[in-house]
Amino acid sequence: MRRPTFPLLLAALLLGLPGGARPAAAQADALPPYRALPDSKAQVQLSFAPLVKRAAPSVVNVYGTHVEKRAANRGAMDEFLRRFFGDAGPGGLPQERAQRSLGSGVIVDGSGLIVTNNHVIENMNEVKVALNDRREFEAQIVLRDPRTDLAILKIKSPTGGLVPMEIGDSESLQVGDFVIAIGNPFGVGQTVTQGIVSALARTQVGSADYQFFIQTDAAINPGNSGGALVDLGGQLVGINTAIYSQSGGSHGIGFAIPASMVRAVVETARGGARMVRRPWLGARLQNVTPDIAESVGLDHPTGVLVAGLQPKSPAEEAGLKRGDVILSVDGQVVDDPEAFGYRFALKGITGETRFAVLRGSTRTTLPVRLGPAPETRSRDALKVKTRSPFLGATAVNLSPAVAEEMQLETQGDGVVIAEVDGGTIANRVGLQKGDIIVAVNGAPVSTTKDLDRITRTSVSMWEVTINRGGQQLTSVFGG
């Protein structure tokens, strides 16, 4: 006769049905040791409640607001664009538009430091946090790191009673481990869900530059972003950041940024820095395909292929060559460029790391110097304020440091858009962060001084050529 499954037997125990009357010895013989049934009332009553009680006070709700005031004065270009975008106010009066966001965060320091997702507070100029005990505080943004989708807040006037959560060891997680997710889904209030680690090192999620996510089936929904993924020791092992969903709700596929990256960003903020600095390699990397793996003697695709090197870069100095396959970083295996980027980014900007490299049929180890990308020339940031297609854009001179920060695959000089303010002409004509300005009205643009001089010229038409992701685009705009 087929034996009842665990849930049925447990129900029988609780309800006093005949299925629950089997002797403990018989139960032990019937099931493997790792699936043994509870043999006492205390074991039946096991709960996550003590863990939640300890962790919940560290998780906060984060509210962000961006208030944008727009003037009534409009030039000819604004009026031309208004016909397509329709953003003029009634009677041409000044407008005030408020954008709001809602998410979660985790207290990681008794001084009031809170880690959340960058996308939760992106473009926000007013931020508040609400604690588990309903106290509310204004918070300042002390660090944004869009490349990891992390941000650090600090409560402006903490009054004590803050409960920080200890940052745990995400490297020790294994698939199948129990975890709980705590956050504020849909704004309904603090909510706890439970699940397991479904997968590790997910790299094709697309929500940040450094993709190396923990996947969990604990229910994560909109509003959980920035909340805590907690292990059974009550430690923070991840920051919930994204879900896979076709409906907007949870389908049991959620992703969290590992605690090892969270720790690096938090330590940067504790040190007073406003920006995370990461090591520069100076190499262009690509996936190892099955064909490449076969050609170099690997039994399966793994590692990253060195496809190009920048002159005088740490990669060139270390002796890396085109065609090399990097297999590991300090003994940690990397399977694709995203995994490599994550592992390398955690190494800091001092000392050295060691790459296991396959060159032809020979395996070798190369020491690689760690250091930030150099500023080979001044950025000379220019915020364009003259009437042109660039009005509202901030441009900087290119250098290895700028290219590294903005993840641009370029080795030359030039000028790149670093920021575009919302609601401005630059935003409405479609300029984007990372666009490299090649020429304006036929004149090449090599420095921000060139761009400043050109945009101060009054013309009836503007011809703008940019490089976006390696593709050259030319557009013409009215003056």
Residue 84 CA to residue 476 CA, distance in Å, equals 16
The percent helix, strand, coil of the chain (3-state, each to 5) is: 25, 35, 45
CATH of the domain at 424: 2.30.42.10
192 and 92, same domain (yes or no)? yes
Do 354 and 459 reside in the same domain of the chain?
no
Return the DSSP state at 222: T
- For residues 358 and 391, state if they share a domain: no
Count of structural domains within the chain = 4
Measured between alpha carbons, how far is 95 from 82 in angstroms, rounded to an integer?
A: 14
CATH of residue 270: 2.40.10.120
Catalytic residue among 101, 225, 250, 260: 225
Q: Indicate whether 244 belongs to any domain.
A: yes
In a domain, 259, yes or no: yes
Same domain, 272 and 320: no
| Other beta carbons less than 10 A from residue 457's beta carbon | 13
Q: Is 40 a catalytic residue?
A: no
Q: What is the CA radius of gyration of the chain?
A: 27
328 shares its domain with 388: no
Each residue's pLDDT expressed in tens, for the chain with a length of 479 residues: 444 433 333 333 333 333 444 444 444 455 565 556 777 877 767 788 889 999 999 999 998 887 665 544 445 444 444 444 444 444 444 455 555 778 899 999 999 999 999 989 888 878 999 998 889 999 999 999 988 899 999 999 877 889 999 999 998 899 989 999 999 887 778 889 999 999 887 776 665 566 788 999 888 888 888 999 999 999 999 999 876 655 555 567 889 999 999 999 999 999 888 888 899 999 999 999 999 999 888 889 999 999 999 888 999 999 999 999 999 999 999 998 889 998 999 999 999 999 999 998 899 999 999 999 998 889 999 999 999 999 999 999 999 889 888 878 776 778 999 999 988 999 999 999 999 999 999 999 999 999 999 999 888 899 999 999 888 899 988 76
Q: Report yes or no on 288 lying in a domain.
A: yes
At residue 479, the pLDDT reads 64
How remote is the C-alpha of 81 from its chain's centroid? 33
Active site (annotated) includes residue 149 = yes
Q: Nearest 5°: phi and psi at 59?
A: -100, 130
Domain boundary among 233, 253, 276: 276
Does 1 map to a domain? Answer: no
Is 12 a domain residue? yes
- Residue 78 sits at φ, ψ, to 5 deg, of -60, -45
- Verify that 338 and 467 share a domain, yes or no: no
> Residue 48, Cβ neighbours under 10 Å: how many?
14
Residues 248 and 139 both lie in one domain: yes
Residue 376 placed within a domain: no
Domain final position from 276, 297, 315: 276
**83 and 66 in a common domain:** yes
Please indicate, yes or no, whether residues 110 and 171 belong to a single structural domain of this protein: yes
Active-site residue (options: 149, 217, 231, 324): 149
Q: Give the pLDDT of residue 168.
A: 92
**103 domain residue, yes or no:** yes
d(CA 452, CA 432): 18
**Does residue 374 lie within any of the structural domains?**
no
Q: Are residues 190 and 294 in the same domain?
A: no
Given 119, 145, 336, 450, the catalytic residue: 119
Whether residues 24 and 56 share a domain: the answer is no
Domain end point (choices 369, 401, 417): 369
Report the pLDDT value the prediction gives residue 239, as an integer from 0 to 100: 94
Domain around 406: 382-478
The yes-or-no answer on residue 399 being catalytic is: no
Say whether both 63 and 200 belong to one domain: yes
Q: How many residues does the chain have?
A: 479
